[in-house]
Structure 1
Amino acid sequence: MSAAESDYSVYRRVVTQFMNGEEQLPSLPTITLDIRRALVNPNTSVLGLTRVISKDPALSALLMKHASSIAFRTTQAPKTLEQVIRLLGMLEVDRVTLVHSLKSLFTLHGVAHRNLFISVWGRMTQQASISAVLARPLGFPSADHALLASLLSDVGELAILSAFKDASQVPSPEVYARLCREYGKSLGIIVLKKWAVDECYIDVVRNAGDWTFTEGRGVCLIDLVNLGRYHALRDEDVHGRLPLLGELAAHRKLVPPLDAQDATGALALVASQQEAIQRMTSSLR
């Protein structure tokens, strides 16, 4: 066994032990669990949910900002948290809460650990923003649903970082990428089941990155996730491993002019929406 393979086996063992010890897996913050319990309780009133969410000032401010955005702009912007919740609805509040929790979920140890997080979070937010911006033009009803599904599709890669408990354990970017390829999906499914998220998000984890997979006739959640992922990975694809856009099952669902490609072989719709994508990406970082 080479030195590199020997080093990899050490990291591999750490991740395997981490996966087998459920108590070690990252848990959602208590406030997030309280909010999710309130959301699934049919007896929860808007006023009751407002009281729960108000315990988290950062989340409250994020919801206020989200509700005042262009996507939800009304003749008069909401001025109270209660008005925000009424405007967004329970499902959107649930999705925004999960996105907020993801960003601050994982403890980082040292510069190398932080750099790995910044790298993977940067790609995750870019692909999620692309998926969200494509949602409405492609006939999907909820941009936030697409955004959250895309973020959760790679939660296993973030969870792998939790396996390394101090700065001396942190793998190199190359080893980390290899661990993600080997364990990202299975660990992501374990974590999402622990969090009791909707099964549709777990299905997305299973099929994200499978360019031949689709379901139904119209554009569905996995199609948006894979289109976002594909375009986020194009800049990193120095070895030409990605298929051509026209080979993606998700692209074959699109009808003219939505299926148009630009000169680089990317979806023209993505190129035309770069400003919106960048705005959304910046808001998530």
Structure 2
Amino acid sequence: MELNVQSVQPDYSIYRSLVSELLAGNEQLPSLPAITFEIRSALEQSDLSMVELSKLLAKDPSLSAILLKYASSPLIGSQNPPQTMLEVVRLLGMNQVERITMVHSIKSLFSVHSFKHKRLFVEAWRRMALKASLSTFIAKHVGKVVPDQVLMAALLSEVGTLAVLSAFKKSEQTPDLSVYVALCREYAKSLGVITLKKWQVDSQYLSVVQNIGNWSGESPGAINLSDIINLGLYHSLKLSQAKNDLPPITELTAYKKLEAPENSVVAGGLTLVMTNVQEIRIVAKSLF
């Protein structure tokens, strides 16, 4: 989407100044909730039992609700949806529980300060959920990369877009959507890297942030996590209502790593995606 920010918002420089201040002082960036660190710390213990983990998760009712909803979603495809936290842990496994916990934390730690602010957050999260669902769906069909790891990476790769919102704590400071998009293009990647380093996440997720949207960059070897996320991002942009100057999918580095039949193309996107859009949107809604 082409955007002349000066014509849309005469005081764009004021918004830039606010985000630059946030970038310069990372103590203002959101920190993970204490329960998240507690769960991550517990999962590092080799003798942690599923019963102990389920009791720890139950301490956070909103997290428990998210885990139950996710474990019952089409993404998991269980014939007998779990009813308790212990059943959730048994179904998802400890690694996936950790990733979903992080997802929940990401959504809950960004405070909204006004109706306008909330609208931007909701729109940003909706886009993130669609990209995450697309990326996970592609991973399940292509193989090579663990799907639930892809879900985590897809959401973490957009932390910077939410971090941009942290710069606007007053209603009169909150930009319009078009200006917010421009600010994200300018600052989201840098803010994302700084925030994820603060959270001490695995370096592979930092790599994903650094490579997001790099359609034709060098990426030797087999298809990797960054490639899958870029394919998810590409299709989320393609399915959006906004006009996007996207290159043909066949020019993408990630696409060139695909093999038949997964590399089949229809309507400018992967056939496996374009023929299953409704199913993918249902999964995205379960993450919203």
Q: 1:167 to 1:84 in 2, by over 3 A?
A: same
SS in 2 for 1:194: helix
Residue type of the partner of 1:108?
A: V
Question: Structure 1 stretches of 5 or more lacking a match?
Answer: none
Per-residue CA deviation, residues 28-74 of structure 1 (Å, 9 max, x unaligned), is: 11211211111123343323222211101222233233334455556
Counterpart in the other structure of 2:97: 93
Amino acid at match of 1:278: R
Of the candidates 124, 127, 131, which is equivalent to residue 123 of structure 1?
127
- Pair 1:145-2:149 in alignment: yes
| Partner residue, 1:243 | 247
Q: Say what the alpha-carbon RMSD is for the aligned residues.
A: 2.2
For CA contacts below 8 A with separation 6 or more, give which structure has more relative contact order: 2
Check 1:44–1:17 CA distance in 2 against 1; reply closer, same or farther (3 A cut). Answer: same
Give the Cα separation in 1 of the matches to 2:21 and 2:123: 24
Amino acid at match of 1:27: S
Give 1:242 deviation, angstroms.
Answer: 1.0
CA 1:25–1:267 in 2, change beyond 3 Å: closer, same or farther? same
Q: Is the 8 A contact 1:214 1:250 kept in 2?
A: no
| TM-aligned CA distance change 1:48 to 1:187, over 3 Å | same
Contact 1:50 1:85 in 2 (8 A): yes
Of the three residues 252, 258, 277, the one matched with 1:254 is 258
Q: CA deviation at 1:273?
A: 1.8
Which residue, out of 269, 273, 277, partners 1:270?
Answer: 273
- What is the TM-score normalised by the length of structure 1? 0.91
Change (3 A) 1:214 1:46: farther
**2:111 is equivalent to residue 107 of structure 1:** yes
Aligned residue among 178, 181, 187 for 2:182: 178
Displacement of 1:239 in angstroms is: 5.3
Say if 1:211 and 1:249, in contact at 8 Å, map to a contact too.
yes
Q: Report the CA distance between 1:79 and its aligned residue.
A: 4.3
Q: 1:249 to 1:111 in 2, by over 3 A?
A: same
Match runs of 1:4-15 below 5 Å: 7-15=11-19
Kept in 2, the 8 Å contact 1:153–1:188? The answer is yes
Q: Which amino acid aligns with 2:15?
A: Y
Residue 71 to residue 140, structure 1, CA distance change in 2 (3 Å)? farther
Aligned residue pairs, count: 283
**Compared CA separation, residues 103 and 75, structure 1 to 2 (3 A):** closer
Structure 2 distance, partners of 1:45, 1:261, is 45
Q: 1:281 to 1:214 in 2, by over 3 A?
A: farther
Q: Give the CA deviation at 1:17.
A: 1.1
Which residue identity is paired with 1:109?
Answer: H
Q: Tell me the TM-score normalized by structure 2.
A: 0.90
For residues 237 and 217 of structure 1, the distance between their equivalents in structure 2, rounded to whole angstroms, comes to 34
CA distance in 2, matches of 1:208, 1:105: 23
Contact 2:237 2:244 in 1 (8 A): no
- Which of 17-26 and 38-47 deviates more? 38-47
Task: Determine what percentage of the aligned residue pairs are the same residue.
Answer: 45
Partner of 1:220: 224
2-side partners of 1:109 and 1:55: how far apart?
A: 27
Aligned-partner Cα distance in 2 for 1:31–1:150: 22
